[in-house]
Structure 1
C-alpha cells in the first residue's frame, strides 16, 4: 500500500520547504528499528478487572513496585516505551512519567482523544463497560484531555455505558447488546462519527462493528496507543543514533 501524503509549508519561502522535505525524508530512518514486546500482567494484589477509581489505584499500587524494581524484568528503565493498557486516566501513567529518565509512557485515554481531535469533521464519543465509568471518563476528558477546538464546536459527545462488566465484553452472547447500545446511544442519540472503544475488553471487536456500522470509525485504543508508543519511542531512539 502506498500512502499519498501532502506536506504544506504555509509560507512563501522555498528554502523552508526544502528544509521540511529533508526532515520528512529522514522519516525513513524510523523504519530501521525492529521491536519486540514484553507483556506484563498485574501481580498478586491487582484486581481481576478495573471497574472504577478504587480498583484503578489498587492496580497501580500492585504494579508500580515491580516497575520500579531494578531486579525485576519489568523495570521501567529496561524499556524504550511503556503502554498502560487500561482505558482511563490511569494513575500508573502519571506515576511512571514522574520517575527519573522515564521512557515515553502512553495511556489509552489520552492517545485516543488526541487522535479523534485531529478530525474536526465529525463528533466523537466513547462506549465503555460498566456505568461507573461514565462519570469518571467524562470528568477526566473534560478536565485534562478535551481540546479547545472540540469544546468550542461541540465535537465531544461524552461516554456511553454498555452496561456490561469488563470481563463480559468479549462474550459472544453479549455482542448484540453492545451493538444495540452503540446504535441507540452513540450513533442515533449522539450522532457520533468516531466511536472510541473505551475498554481494553473491546479490543478486536472493531472489525465486527464496522460491518454493522460502515459509516462509523471505530477507534481501538490498544492499536492506536501502541502505534503512538512505537512512533514516540522510535523518534527518541533516532536522536541517539
Structure 2
C-alpha cells in the first residue's frame, strides 16, 4: 500500500495548537499515512468570530498557494466552522476535507441527530451556517458553546467540565451523537465519550480518515461547475512590493 500524504492546515497562527492537531491527526491515520501540519505565517492567533474567520481563510489560502514542500495527496482543513473550504477546493488539485463537514457526516451515520459542542457562543451561528452550506444542518439538534476561548482549551480540567455541561444541553435538545466543535478539542472524545454515554466524533480524526478514503478510491474534486479552476486574471496577494 502506497503512502498517503496529507497536509493538515491550522486556521490560526498558534504553533502549539498546530502540533496538538497534528498529534490527533497522526493517531487517527492509517499505517502508511504521513501527516504534515501547516501554520499560517500571518492571520489570527485564534479564530473566534466572523472577522477572524475571513482573515484566517485568506491566510490558509495563501499558505497553500505558497507551499513548496513535498507533494501531497489531500488537504484537511482544521478550523471548525471557519471559511475558506470552497476556495481551497478551487485552488488545489487534490481532495479537500473540512473537519466541520467530516465530523457531521460521520455523526449522521451514528445517530439520527447530532449536537456540536464548541468554544464561545459567538461561534455558534457561524458553525450553523457552515453546516447548512455543507448540507448536513438538517440533522443538527443544537450547536452549544462552552464559554471557553480557543486558547483556554489547554486547561484540561476546566475544558472537560465545560464540555460536559454543554454536552448535557445538547443532549436535552435531542442530540444522540456529539461532535467536537473545535480542532483544539482533539483528544476529548477518548476521555469523555464513555462518561457521556454517547458517541463523540472528533473532526480531525474524521477528516483524516475520509481524506484517506478519497485518495484510496482515486476520487478528486469535480471541476464541472462550482469548483472549476479559478478564472485566470490578475490577483494581488497582499500589498505590492515597493
Q: Same fold (TM over 0.5)?
A: yes
Structure-1 residue corresponding to 2:89? 97
Contact 2:142 2:175 (8 Å CA) reproduced: no
Contact 1:89 1:110 (8 Å CA) reproduced: no
Structure-2 residue corresponding to 1:127? 117
- The correspondence of residues 226-237 of structure 1 with structure 2, limited to 5 A, is 226-236=208-218
Q: Is 1:39 the counterpart of 2:3 in the alignment? A: no
Deviation at 1:89, TM superposition (A): 4.7
Gaps of 5+ in 2: 1-29, 220-242
Distance 1:33 1:180 in 2: 36
Distance 2:115 2:57 in 1: 26
SS in 2 for 1:90: coil
Structure-1 residue corresponding to 2:165? 180
- The correspondence of residues 51-200 of structure 1 with structure 2, limited to 5 A, is 51-69=48-66, 72-73=68-69, 78-91=71-84, 93-99=85-91, 102-119=93-110, 121-146=111-136, 151=138, 155-174=139-158, 175-183=160-168, 185-187=169-171, 189-200=172-183
Structure-1 residue corresponding to 2:207? 225
Larger Rg: 1
SS in 2 for 1:37: strand
Contact 1:127 1:195 (8 Å CA) reproduced: yes
Structure-2 residue corresponding to 1:208? 191
Q: 1:102 to 1:207 in 2, by over 3 A?
A: same
Normalising by structure 2, report the TM-score. Answer: 0.71
SS in 1 for 2:116: strand
Contact 1:113 1:145 (8 Å CA) reproduced: no
Structure-2 residue corresponding to 1:8? none
Deviation at 1:206, TM superposition (A): 1.0
Higher strand share: 2
Instruction: Indicate the RMSD between aligned Cα atoms, in angstroms.
Output: 2.2
Q: 1:64 to 1:144 in 2, by over 3 A?
A: closer
SS in 2 for 1:98: helix
Contact 1:125 1:192 (8 Å CA) reproduced: yes
Higher helix share: 1
Distance 2:147 2:187 in 1: 19
Distance 2:189 2:136 in 1: 23
- The number of equivalent residue pairs is 189
Deviations 1:191-232 (A, max 9, x none): 32100011011100111112321x200001111111011111
SS in 2 for 1:195: strand
Deviation at 1:33, TM superposition (A): 8.5
Normalising by structure 1, report the TM-score. Answer: 0.71
